[in-house]
A and B are shown apart, each in its own frame.
Chain A
């Protein structure tokens, strides 16, 4: 709530982003670069890549949070002036990707920083990144929904399952 209000009131015109690679394979970095090309033209929304976190409004994190980059990313986050927004781009930054339990990866970006918006994909399309940023700015709405289904012929109905408790969320 407060975050939405902050984004809409304080960052209404331009969102300057600082791009951080915290252990990515460069796939997501290239897609972020693609988003800034004239073809997708992220500058329509005032999105500009800046060279220093002190000039930025938003951090764009790509890749799983590795043990080595975590302190540096935390420093970059502290250097961004308030109010700040953090985007996690790609499956690795969202949930750790396929490296979620390896020895040198702490997990997704949310293990180290408070992340506001997640854009999963491996790598996400430039459209997906644009959609994520546009959702944060309030231009579009969230599309994805959790899915729950029961096979036909089962004696349990979907309404009988506990609403608040999902098996999936017990994982990890």
Chain B
């Protein structure tokens, strides 16, 4: 009797196991989309980026470096090999230039070659200190034509890393 009982329970298990059918995914041969809300490799839309460097400020892995190569060029260097895909850069970006894509097939044999991103942003230079400076509004951005920005106003003076003060009277107020 005991043997029959054991057999029956095994049979039941076999029937239960047959019920779901084949569950194995054919993944490497058939593509599989990540689910909603998945955070993959962050990519920057260079035409939206204003070069504020907020992403580099909050990155917990410090994998973003901001370099000013000359007075009008700011380069965002992304080292994705130690990126933790936390999405904080995309969260703080004031113009939503950073998007967490759904790319997850990142396996490589040379991360220093493949897992990098380099984004060149065109900036306006400050008149006094000569460093890259982002114009405060879109209209001001249209005026960035050369190597020097001759109008310096109060907003620029507040943001200036070199501590330059505004010179004309009306913009001070």
Enumerate chain A interface residues (CB-CB to B < 8 A).
38-41, 44, 91-92, 94-98, 100-101, 108, 116-122, 124-125, 127-128, 130-132, 134-135, 139-140, 142-154, 156, 161, 166-169, 171
Q: Please name 11 further chain A to chain B contacts, defined as beta carbons within 8 Å, in addition to the given A91-B85, A98-B84, A147-B43, sorted by A numbering.
A: A95-B82, A118-B81, A119-B106, A120-B80, A120-B83, A135-B107, A144-B115, A146-B114, A146-B117, A148-B119, A168-B78
Q: Is there contact, CB below 8 Å, between A156 and B120?
A: yes
Picked from A40, A135, A147, A148, the residue with its CB within 8 Å of the CB of B25 is: A40
Picked from A97, A145, A153, the residue with its CB within 8 Å of the CB of B114 is: A145
Q: Is there contact, CB below 8 Å, between B117 and A148?
A: yes
Q: How far is the CA of A91 from the CA of B61 in the complex (A)?
A: 10
| Minimum CB–CB distance for A61 against chain B, Å | 14
Picked from B23, B63, B103, the residue with its CB within 8 Å of the CB of A144 is: B103
Q: Is there contact, CB below 8 Å, between B109 and A142?
A: yes
Q: Is there contact, CB below 8 Å, between B69 and A167?
A: yes
Within residues 70 to 121 of chain B, which ones have a CB less than 8 A from any CB in chain A? 72-73, 75, 77-86, 103-109, 111-121
| Minimum CB–CB distance for A78 against chain B, Å | 22
Q: Is there contact, CB below 8 Å, between B107 and A122?
A: no
Give the B interface residue count (CB, 8 A). Answer: 53
Q: Is there contact, CB below 8 Å, between B104 and A124?
A: yes
Main secondary structure of the interface of A (DSSP, over half): loop
| Minimum CB–CB distance for B29 against chain A, Å | 8
Q: Is there contact, CB below 8 Å, between A146 and B25?
A: no
Among listed B3-11, B44-52, B125-133, B154-162, interface-contacting one: B44-52
| Contact of B24 with A by CB under 8 A | yes
Q: How far is the CA of A120 from the CA of B119 in the complex (A)?
A: 21
| Contact of B152 with A by CB under 8 A | no
CB contacts (< 8 Å) of B78 on chain A: these are: 147, 168
Q: Is there contact, CB below 8 Å, between A98 and B62?
A: yes
